[in-house]
């Protein structure tokens, strides 16, 4: 879907297309990376990719062998540029640490035509179950939508999942922000604000729920 969800917002190019300036994925990584780096004590970022022809929607692969983390978002961006040309398109946490999981995706998920409008498909239900399970850990999830969407499912994951220990998921429509006719610095500030606005309350919730083990 990366091949066509950038039809309007990315000049009909693949959303992973590498050019002199940053593509939508790199912009997301750069803005969030700069914002969060102040709070990251060890500067180690575990990075995984999914949705290529080898993993499809069933697995992930690490940016480095043996799940080695990237040292800072600059290395993350550099490694991303190394990996993209090789990929055919189609985390355990340490106890006592708070983590932020950033998932950058185009919003598409396999959905049968037989699935009712107000119901989740089996694949969607697995995602819902994973988000609910994740609320048992000191982990915040930021879903970033790139490309032209649609985004209704991402928004559901943000707003309509019951039974969580705390509201652990935030969705941000990156494209909607970046197409605004305002200076780029304003766009980056707005994106960072929307992506991270729930982190303080989520962190407080993990403390109150004593999820650090």
This prediction has a pTM of 0.64
Reference 160, options 120, 133, 194; nearest CA is 120
> Rounded mean pLDDT of 13-38?
80
The yes/no answer on whether domain 24-90+96-208 falls in CATH 3.30.720 is no
- Phi, psi angle pair for 61, to nearest 5°: -130, 145
Spell out the domain ranges in the chain: 24-90+96-208
Exposed, middle or buried, 1 (CB in 10 Å: 0-12/13-18/19+)? middle
Which tens digits make up the pLDDT trace of 157-208? Answer: 878 787 899 999 999 999 999 999 999 999 999 999 999 999 999 999 998 9
> Do residues 51 and 90 lie in contact, with contact meaning Cβ atoms separated by under 8 Å?
yes
Residue 8 pLDDT > 70: no
From CA 131, how far away is CA 121, in angstroms rounded?
A: 15
From CA 104, how far away is CA 49, in angstroms rounded?
A: 9
Reference 77, options 91, 58, 63; nearest CA is 63
């Amino acid at each position: 879907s990366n091949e066509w969800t950038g039809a309007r917002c990315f000049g009909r190019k693949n959303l992973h297309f590498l050019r002199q300036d940053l593509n939508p994925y790199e912009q997301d990584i750069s803005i969030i990376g700069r914002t969060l780096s102040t709070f990251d004590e060890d500067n180690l970022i575990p990075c995984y990719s999914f949705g290529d022809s080898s993993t499809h929607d069933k697995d992930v692969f690490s940016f480095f062998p043996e799940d080695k983390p990237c040292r800072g978002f600059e290395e993350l961006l550099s490694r991303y540029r190394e990996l993209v040309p090789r990929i055919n398109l189609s985390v355990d946490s340490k106890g006592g640490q708070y983590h932020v999981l950033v998932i950058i995706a185009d919003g598409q998920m396999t959905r049968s035509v037989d699935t009712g409008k107000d119901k989740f498909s089996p694949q969607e239900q697995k995602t819902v179950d994973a988000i609910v399970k994740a609320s048992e850990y000191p982990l915040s999830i930021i879903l970033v939508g790139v490309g032209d969407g649609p985004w209704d499912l991402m928004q559901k994951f943000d707003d309509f999942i019951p039974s969580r220990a705390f509201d652990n998921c935030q969705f941000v429509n990156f494209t909607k922000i970046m197409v605004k006719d305002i200076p780029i610095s304003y766009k980056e500030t707005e994106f960072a604000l929307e992506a991270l606005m729930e982190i303080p309350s989520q962190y407080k919730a993990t403390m109150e729920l004593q999820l650090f083990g």
